[in-house]
Amino acid sequence: MDMEARAHSEHPEALRLWLRLLTCTQLVEKQLRTRLRERFDTTLPRFDLMAQLERAPEGLKMNELSRRMMVTGGNVTGITDQLVQEGLVDRVDVEGDRRAYRVRLTAKGRKLFNEMAQQHEEWIVQAFSALSDRDLATLHRLLGKVKEHTLERGQQPA
């Protein structure tokens, strides 16, 4: 049973929409996880870590990676260790800080990530292919309003 099945017609439309958004997110994410595993023998967290590193060619400290990915340092360390063993990322000492190092994509890692990112983009486009360009633009604009409103409310006391 998906999240949306919990809603009933007597529930507010906003609640039913929220559950539909969650359901769609979960369905698309499940497809991405399956396809990443089948096509690249990798996981979504590994893809996400590599995506963060691709955006920072000079590399990122572990605490920066953890913050950007919104996961614990232990999670980042485990994924990083695997990617180092596979030659997809390397660790570089941080000058002036013997305890810290930066993680960055290797040439092999960058090449693989570019392949995965291209395929990932195609999968996302496929997931939304039932919508017209106008539908996509409208949905994007409307969700932007929700995002902006929520961010504004987050700055105010309850």
pLDDT computed for residue 77 by the predictor: 92
pLDDT computed for residue 157 by the predictor: 55
- Of 60, 47, 63, the closest CA to residue 90 belongs to 60
Q: Give the pair of three-digit tokens for residue 133.
A: 């360009």
Q: Quick check: 114 and 53 in contact, CB under 8 A?
A: no
Strand-strand pairing, 89-94 and 60-61 = unpaired
Helix 73-85 and helix 44-54, axial crossing angle in degrees, nearest 10: 90
Residues of the chain with pLDDT under 50: none
pLDDT computed for residue 88 by the predictor: 98
Question: How far apart are the C-alpha atoms of 131 and 142, rounded to whole Å?
Answer: 15
pLDDT computed for residue 11 by the predictor: 77
pLDDT computed for residue 7 by the predictor: 66
pLDDT computed for residue 2 by the predictor: 66
